[in-house]
Structure 1
């Protein structure tokens, strides 16, 4: 099978696409890929690290207010459709997969015009503008959160698939996570993370809470500041008038996050959809601080979905402090019954077979398209 993947801007759009590719490669090693990304997104640093052919388009998103820039966006979209058509006609894919971000728009729309089967994957509980637009044109819409299927009323077919990133992380080795952290296997680990860049509000609350983690001496805190905030956090800790707690590990970034996640008993984080898929695939309780600075406040909707099912405690950023964070952490760490119940609820929400569900749908779409071309349907 020949597959075009497109998704860009953030890791939350890129890693699900790569997880789908990984599953397809596992099922059929002879599968061929082309990844089409935007010129400005993280895909430019992430995708080239794979052995996948990579092409880019110059594409931007619409501003939500009246702006002359929107005229440029329309022109870039039309040019993007033409460029995508040329790439698709040259590569001749059996199916095109979009996992979000502005770049999906022209690529998936061009595939529709060329009558190539298409699937888009929506990571969030509230769909993005690009996927809303594309849903009426694609063969299948796959959603991460069960119950959000009705968000795409104009789609031909909507399926609950979960997030394919869950499949990748579900395979992670906890023993390797403990080894990477230099901890003995079975050490209770609380992972604090704000994403690859970091989250200022989480960092501030964590720095306020640091002096109190000595009240949990058997628990090891892995505090991932994000690259942007590492030097500032390190300096604050070094200049503080108290001794650094021995049960604190401060890092700018974790290269092998799946293994570290697998070794964790509790996660404190934002509520990006792909990261939540990773957390639930491993059945980890979470304290979530959704970012208020995202479109449609979708992170809070993501987080509340876990909270409603008993898998997470949610703290709104406006209510976040060292004290409120400490209360939430102690509530989970010190109550084994609550922790085990949250872990069970988290695992029930996890969908570790997500990538396999999506790739099965892709094969069906490809087979049907081939049958139509042969005149068998």
Structure 2
């Protein structure tokens, strides 16, 4: 049976686009070892570092931000967009791409337009509950549209979840728990709260927990606090009580999840999907800026009982002491929340998206 020989994956700028792109790339090459996978990105985004490090080819297109209000930049848009579409078209032609897969962001719109012009099949994956402009445009050109959340409003959408790294998608938290606790210097007798604001950290989370180290420790809650780069601090842990461990970055996030009983985090799409896939209850604190997508991302799991939603300005030291500590020490409640979270997980989303790519490849003219 024949199989695709070359695909182009378009998505960059943020981890929300790059992470599922890499998960799909890994799955496609696992299925088809001879397949050429090339990514399309910008020179400024995370992809410029992460994609070559994983061994995949990378082509660049000019970044074409869409002005949010009338300005001189709006007059430059047609020329900039044409240059980006031309660059995306050259990448398709030179790699012989038989399918273009877009994950949204600056590079996807040029890729969709170039692919449509060449009658190359298009596959779309939308990470957020509220779709971005690029994928709203691209969804007009294809019926192969996958989404992370059931509430995402796009034509032909089918919910598959978020393609995740295999280390996360196949994680057995109970089997790794002892190793994970030892890795971070945590104890076995205390419940563990993982606090993370992602690679850049979250000031609100960092400040609230840094101010309550002693209360958490004396309350019988140990904490693994991932502060983000350059934001670490030395916790003032009481002589008697539970540990409080601070790290800037967890290079093995699967171990952080295995150590945790409860997570406090932002509700980016990737975070929500990782936590439901591994079956962790969470307190979601949506980023208070943007178009409200983080609140929507957490809506399904909160409605199912697998998480709580706390507004950014409500996550205070007082809330940590009066609400979080009782929750973290209530094993029965956490167990119910964990089951509700796991029921929404989609550990095979990478395989389902790869199926869609193969289906689209089969429709080539």
Matches within 5 A, 1:169-318: 169-172=168-171, 174=173, 175=176, 176-183=179-186, 188-217=191-220, 219-230=221-232, 233-234=233-234, 237=235, 247-294=243-290, 296-318=291-313
| Counterpart Cα distance in 2 of 1:14 and 1:301 | 21
1:133 is matched with which residue?
A: 137
Counterpart of 1:70 (choices 56, 69, 74) is 74
TM-score, with normalisation over the residues of structure 2?
Answer: 0.91
**Residue deviations 1:152-201, cap 9 Å, x none?**
2xx3x321111012755122354253343234668632110001011111
CA RMSD in angstroms comes to 2.1
Change (3 A) 1:272 1:56: same
1:158 and 2:157 aligned: yes
Change (3 A) 1:5 1:349: same
| Counterpart Cα distance in 2 of 1:195 and 1:67 | 34
**Residue deviations 1:310-339, cap 9 Å, x none?**
111111012120111333422432222211
**Which 5+ residue runs of structure 2 have no aligned equivalent?**
none
Change (3 A) 1:185 1:23: farther
**Residue deviations 1:329-363, cap 9 Å, x none?**
22432222211111011001100111111111111
Change (3 A) 1:358 1:248: same
Larger mean Cα displacement after TM superposition, 268-277 or 89-98: 89-98
Matches within 5 A, 1:135-150: 135-148=139-152
- 1:166–1:277 Cα contact (<8 Å) kept: no
| Counterpart Cα distance in 1 of 2:189 and 2:342 | 19
Give the Å deviation of 1:246: 5.3
1:375 is matched with which residue?
A: none
1:338 is matched with which residue?
A: 333
2:350 is matched with which residue?
A: 355
Task: Give the match's secondary structure for 1:138.
Answer: coil
Change (3 A) 1:134 1:320: same
Larger helix proportion, structure 1 or 2? 1
The count of corresponding residues between Structure 1 and Structure 2 is 357
Matches within 5 A, 1:91-102: 91-102=95-106
Change (3 A) 1:28 1:262: farther
1:107 is matched with which residue?
A: 111
1:31 is matched with which residue?
A: 35
TM-score, with normalisation over the residues of structure 1?
Answer: 0.89
Task: Give the match's secondary structure for 2:201.
Answer: coil
1:45 and 2:44 aligned: no
